[in-house]
Chain A
């Protein structure tokens, strides 16, 4: 096939394929898909925001445990001091 033959064949196919159109309803569907994918708070993968929150949740859990340990130590100190003070008063 020469370049001229190829160009002629592709030109004929270009003409024959001019009738290709988007199916009815495609414009509305494509617009909605684009707006939904671009809207803040909406995601194609609903689990993605949850996955993003996992490290934060883990950090919050560690901080909670630390706070609980420190508070308990503080409470023990207060109780110990209180016991001593009670003993001194007695």
Chain B
């Protein structure tokens, strides 16, 4: 079976059809990540689609240097897109009457999963975006600190600092 790196190399050589292999292999995982970061699946799909557009452009422009794996690279693009979406969502929420529409019922498992991502968002609401992403990547996605540092393009120390601050904020919030 073709690896993501092989598919990415084919896309870079101009074989556009190989991009579907990348999307098909990563869509569920990336939508889940984005939903956990944003709190709903609809926004998550928008962010992931936008991330695929950026990824395709980067691959065809020869901007993917292969220093990290394709999966890590896509995690990075989605995480940054989610940070941008969280920032714009703050601005959007400041304007009244623009809530996300409720999706159609699509099964108990999906409904429970939607509730879970909404609860994650509610629990982490108010944290600075970088701290929120760091704690989701660490505690919900189960990634290591070096992996998170590669995804967020910062030092491991910066990741640890964001985690410590996020935990301190959440502790203080629950104590009050």
- Beta-carbon nearest neighbor of A1 in chain B: B174
Minimum Cβ distance to chain A for residue B101 (Å): 14
Selecting from B80-88, B113-121, B151-159, the interface stretch reads B113-121
* Most chain A beta carbons < 10 A, residue from B49, B109, B119: B49
Consensus secondary structure, chain B interface: helix
Given A1-B170, A1-B171 in contact, is the A18-B32 Cβ separation under 8 Å?
A: yes
> Are A14 and B139 in contact (CB-based, < 8 A)?
yes
CB neighbors of B among A1-55 (8 A): 1-3, 6-7, 9-11, 13-14, 16-23, 26-31, 33-35, 37-38
Whether A16 contacts B45 by the Cβ 8 Å rule is no
B interface, size bucket:
35 or more
Give the total of A residues in contact with B, Cβ under 8 Å: 29
Interface residue? B48 (CB, 8 A): yes
- Residues of B at the A interface (CB closer than 8 Å) are 16, 19-20, 23-24, 27-28, 31-32, 35-36, 41, 44-45, 48-49, 52-53, 55-57, 60, 106, 109-110, 112-117, 119-120, 123, 135, 139-142, 167, 170-171, 173-175
* Interface residues of A, Cβ cutoff 8 Å to B: 1-3, 6-7, 9-11, 13-14, 16-23, 26-31, 33-35, 37-38
